[in-house]
Structure 1
Amino acid sequence: MRIFARTHQLPPRLAAGAFFLNSGLGKINADPQTAAFLHGTAANVYPFLRRLDPQTFTRVLSRCEVGLGLALLTPFVPSLVAGAGLTAFAAGLVGLYLRTPGLRREGSLRPTPQGLSMAKDVWLLGIGLGLVAEELAHRRSPLPGR
């Protein structure tokens, strides 16, 4: 496993990492109303989350986002590891988009105006999958130096 990210991997890692770090830091001191909204939205799509109270959910969500952001921003965290974390988190976000009523046009993947802010999370999934796919491909490459 590579110890440092490849140079061309840094721009997408920095973009996604800054996004997650900012998002997580913004939730650290979430008020009860914000926590209830975030928890309610997630628990409607992922019912197992109902077991957590809103403040605990938001605190865990915040810490996960900060941790993922730092992993992406830190070049010595292997891209396979950072990419796998990003892929998993982004898949959950895309799942929210796909399963929340009113965010997509009837019979389509295209977002409604209300769903546009969540539909854009597909770029995070693309970055994560790209990082993972590249690292796995380089592991299998028979060429020296790859």
Structure 2
Amino acid sequence: MRFLARAHQMPVRMIVGAFIVNSGMSKLKGGDEAAEQTHAMAKTAYPVLESRNAQEFTRMLGTFELALGSALMVPLVPSVLAGAALTAFSGGLTGLYLRTPGMREPGGLRPTQQGIGLAKDSWLVGIGTALVLEELGRARDERCTRR
């Protein structure tokens, strides 16, 4: 079973990975005000984060984004693993979009002007899921071929 990145997966992994690395670097370079804003939005959607220190939370988030983005860009990281991590992370971002007031038009999923940036993160769910499903499908096909 071969789970390493395939050549056709690398363009999307590189682009998404670079975007996430940039986001992580921005969080790590941002000041106290940026950390407060990031934390305020996160704790609105996920109240369990209320007790976290804003700077600590933002530093941890930025560090995680650096690790995730790097994992996506390194072909030696199996696509199933990178895709699963991307799906989990982007699922949290999608939850942020769905739970934050003012991000969606009333009574639906359509984003408001303010929500477009977060709504676009739903594409990452699709990309991560596609990476995982492709690798699981290939593994299943290889098992069936050997029988």
TM-score (norm 2): 0.94
Gaps of 5+ in 2: none
1:55 maps to which residue? 55
1:52-131 equivalences in 2 (<5 Å): 52-131=52-131
> Contact 1:3/1:76 (CA < 8 Å) preserved in 2?
no
Q: How many Å separate the matches in 1 of 2:103 and 2:58?
A: 22
1:14 maps to which residue? 14
- Output one character per residue of 1:55-105: Cα deviation in whole Å (capped at 9) or x when no partner: 000100000000000000000100010001100000000000011111111
> Contact 2:4/2:75 (CA < 8 Å) preserved in 1?
yes
**2:145 aligned counterpart, secondary structure:** coil
- Output one character per residue of 1:2-28: Cα deviation in whole Å (capped at 9) or x when no partner: 352011111111111011001001111
- 2:30 aligned with 1:30: yes
**2:29 aligned counterpart, secondary structure:** coil
Candidates 139, 143, 146, aligned match of 2:145: 143
> Contact 2:36/2:54 (CA < 8 Å) preserved in 1?
yes
Higher share in helix? 2
Q: How many Å separate the matches in 2 of 1:128 and 1:51?
A: 30
2:43 maps to which residue? 43
1:2 maps to which residue? 2
Runs (4 or more) in structure 1 with deviation over 6 Å come to none
Q: Percent identity?
A: 51
| 1:13–1:64 Cα change, 3 Å | same
Q: Which amino acid aligns with 1:25?
A: M
The count of corresponding residues between Structure 1 and Structure 2 is 144
TM-score (norm 1): 0.94
Gaps of 5+ in 1: none
Q: How many Å separate the matches in 2 of 1:122 and 1:80?
A: 19
Q: How many Å separate the matches in 2 of 1:96 and 1:6?
A: 31
**2:76 aligned counterpart, secondary structure:** coil
